[in-house]
A and B are shown apart, each in its own frame.
Chain A
Amino acid sequence: MPVKKISATRRRQYMTGYLFLLPNFICFLTFVFVPIIMGLVISFTDYNGFNKFNFVGISNYVRMFADEYFRISFKNNLIYTAATVPATVILALLLAAALNSGMKGAGLLRTLYFFPTISSMVAVGIVWSMLFNPSKGPINGVLTALGVQETPNWIASSSTALLSVMIVAVWKQVGYYMVILLSGMQVIPKSLYESAELDGANTVQRFFHVTIPLLSSTLFMVIIMLIINSFQVFDLIAIMTEGGPGASTNVLVYRIYQEGFNYLRFGFASAEAYFLFLVILLITLIQFIGQKKWVTYLD
């Protein structure tokens, strides 16, 4: 069979396509694709920015799992995820349900709840650090006024620092997820609530038997997003505690930052970064599988 020649018009059409995509694609290639490959390669070397690097096999990974700081950071990250994700989901769900019930002033409340979301982490971290000030801060002021004898030291103590950061994180992000859940609730047909009501279901029953099942795809998505984001927490830690006191609030990304940009151990930091990537990849895989299994669709 003769090879079909591509016509000149066709070729010009292809050219147009490539030209439109080119600026976008070059940036993608240089700053996303190449770094992904590079990161993997560096993680198998002892590169520190100066030496000619040597391939060291998987020794960075081996050292990483033996590294006490890394283990603490990962543990802290798991605690952070296990605590902030459910807290945020439950609060966001309640807020969204309340706003969706068509009460007066819902618009104003939504605006208020959303305020922390648009604020920068730096501003939020600075303000909360001052609010948490153990001796002079307003939070302990309130607690003292309420009769609490021994007020917590919040971010100044290694036993409460992580808790303090988690409180701020939930406060900061709840509005964002509330908005997503609210939009998911708004597409649930009113007729379903009406027929449930006719069947004698009260507000709570309707919430659990109509809202939750029909919201499952959004809810699932929100939980996955929250888990993924929880593994990337950085700014709050950097501003509020710098990983301390001790290593009590050190987390994966902060660890990568320290190893990479403070100690210039690029090889080791890249191994940690790839570990983070694998964790997120795993969550994404669970998402793909889970979406098919656990989610009810409306149609």
Chain B
Amino acid sequence: MKNSTKIRTIHTIMLVILLLLGITMIMPFLWTLSSSFKLKRSIMGFPIEWIPSNPTVKNYVKLWTDYPFLTYYLNTIKVTLIVVVLQTAFSSMGAYAFARLEFPGRNLIFFLYLSTMMVPWHAIMIPQFLIVSGLKLYDSHTAIILLQLFSAFSTFMMRTAMMNVPAELSESARIDGAREMTIMGKIILPSCKPTLATLTVFTFNFMWNDYLGPMIYLNSDRNKTIQLGLASLRSAYSAEYGLIMAGTMCALIPMIIIYLAAQQYLIKGITFTGVKA
């Protein structure tokens, strides 16, 4: 039938467009991967040699031995893990107070959080900097960590999750005389595991990829995180294409692994940002 042929043609055209777009999305990564195994002179140029004829791991070796890449890596892992743990803990406790406890001023504080949420971080980066340097924390990891401990997003997301836990679960424990900390830790949090996983992945993603924060607060090489380190590597050795590509790969890999392993949680978090208002 004519109509169904037309539909099939439309579908085929759509599929081709989608595939082409998909290739556009992935091509720069494949190019980076392939270039990272090449020597400098064979990287640029066209047609692209997708599979290097003389693959070399020299770039990676140089990166990890001659440059402080290991330090950048360890620094990033350190601040990322500390922030993931503390931000989740603080947000969960705050969310528990909002969702399950009663005290005067609760709604006022909640409203305050809500109304400051629209203030863009970039609009307060200068006073934040003045406070942090006033505390003599410039060029320290503590600065990076402290600034990330409060997250309105995490608090709201945990609050939503906790409000969905049936009240009967905690009420019976409360009647039995359990302390709030125990109720939260043993009953509420285990029911919020998917949200906790989402927050972990989200915060990890943010911390691992953060550039502006480290750019403002970190100065010495021994303190730099991966993105800042990569950017300084690029400005110092802009002609060392292979080295930069290897560095870029190393900066990308942890996030790619986490993405492939925990895709569903990341997507859940993004969906939450889309419905929050």
Question: Which residues on A are within 8 Å of B, measured CB to CB?
Answer: 13-14, 16-18, 20-21, 23-25, 27-28, 30-36, 38-39, 42, 49, 91, 95, 98, 103, 109, 111-116, 118-124, 126-128, 130-131, 133, 136-138, 141-142, 144-145, 171, 175-176, 179-180, 183-184, 203, 218, 221-222, 224-225, 228, 231-232, 234-235, 238-239, 253, 256-257, 260-261, 266, 269-270, 273-274, 276-277, 280-281, 284, 287, 291
- The answer, yes or no, to whether B71 is at the interface (CB within 8 Å) is no
- The answer to whether A266 touches B130 (Cβ under 8 A) is yes
Question: A182 to nearest B CB, angstroms?
Answer: 9
Would you list which residues of chain B between 42 and 56 have a CB under 8 Å from chain A?
Answer: 44-48
B274 touches A228 (CB 8 A): no
- CB neighbours (8 Å) of A280 from chain B are 118-120, 123
In the complex, besides A27-B146, A115-B29, A130-B244, 14 extra interface pairs with C-beta distance below 8 angstroms are A21-B93, A21-B109, A30-B131, A49-B130, A109-B22, A118-B266, A123-B248, A123-B252, A127-B29, A179-B267, A221-B277, A232-B122, A234-B212, A273-B126
Indicate if B75 sits at the interface (CB-CB under 8 A). Answer: no
- Asked if A127 and B126 make an inter-chain contact with CB atoms under 8 angstroms apart, the answer reads no
Whether B273 is near chain A, meaning CB under 8 Å from some CB there, is yes
Cα–Cα distance between A176 and B120 once the two chains are bound (Å) = 19
State whether A141 touches B46 (Cβ < 8 A): yes
Pair B124/A126 contact, Cβ less than 8 Å? no
Min Cβ gap B240→A in Å is 12
Quick check: A36 and B122 within 8 Å, CB to CB? no
Taking a contact as CB atoms under 8 Å apart, the answer to whether B97 and A20 are in contact is yes
How close is B221's CB to chain A, nearest CB, in angstroms? Answer: 16
Q: List 12 A-B contacts (CB under 8 A).
A: A13-B101, A16-B103, A16-B180, A24-B94, A24-B150, A28-B152, A123-B32, A123-B252, A221-B275, A225-B273, A239-B234, A277-B119
**Contact of B25 with A113 in the complex, beta carbons under 8 Å:** yes
Q: Nearest residue in B to A11 (C-beta to C-beta)?
A: B103
CA distance A127 to B90 in the complex (A): 37
- How far is B245's CA from A270's CA once the two chains are assembled, in angstroms? 37
B196 to chain A, nearest CB (A): 16
B127–A35 CB distance below 8 A: yes
A118–B47 CA distance with the chains assembled, in angstroms: 28
Residues of A contacting B97 with CB < 8 Å?
17-18, 20-21
Given the known interface contacts A23-B90, A98-B14, A203-B7, the answer about A274 and B123 at a Cβ–Cβ threshold of 8 Å is yes
Is B103's CB under 8 angstroms from A261's CB? no
- Cβ–Cβ contact A136 & B45, under 8 A: yes
Flag whether B187 is at the interface (Cβ < 8 A).
Answer: no
Which of B21, B104, B112 has a CB less than 8 Å from the CB of A113? B21
Query: What A residues does B127 contact at CB under 8 A?
Result: 34-36, 38-39, 42, 270
Q: Taking each of A32, A111, A266, which has the highest tally of chain B beta carbons within 10 Å of its own beta carbon?
A: A32
Q: For the complex, give the distance between the alpha carbons of A76 and B79 in Å.
A: 35
Q: How far is the CB of A140 from chain B (nearest CB, A)?
A: 8
- A23 lies within 8 A of B119 (CB): no
The reply to whether the CB of B205 lies closer than 8 angstroms to some CB of chain A is yes
The 9 closest A-B pairs by CB, nearest first: A141-B46, A17-B103, A24-B94, A180-B274, A27-B150, A136-B44, A120-B209, A35-B127, A38-B127
Which chain B positions have C-beta within 8 A of A269? Answer: 126
Does B149 have its Cβ within 8 Å of any Cβ on chain A? yes
The residue on A at minimum CB distance from B244 is A126
Which A residues are CB-close (under 8 A) to B24? 171
Cβ A35 vs Cβ B149 within 8 A: no
Assuming the contacts A31-B147, A180-B274, A221-B275, asked whether A137 and B44 have C-beta atoms less than 8 A apart, the reply is yes
Residues of chain B within 8 A of A36, CB atoms compared: 116, 119, 124, 127
Q: How far is the CB of B46 from chain A (nearest CB, A)?
A: 3
Whether B59 sits at the interface, judged by CB under 8 Å, is: no
Write out the residue numbers on chain A whose beta carbons fall within 8 Å of the beta carbon of B47. 141, 145
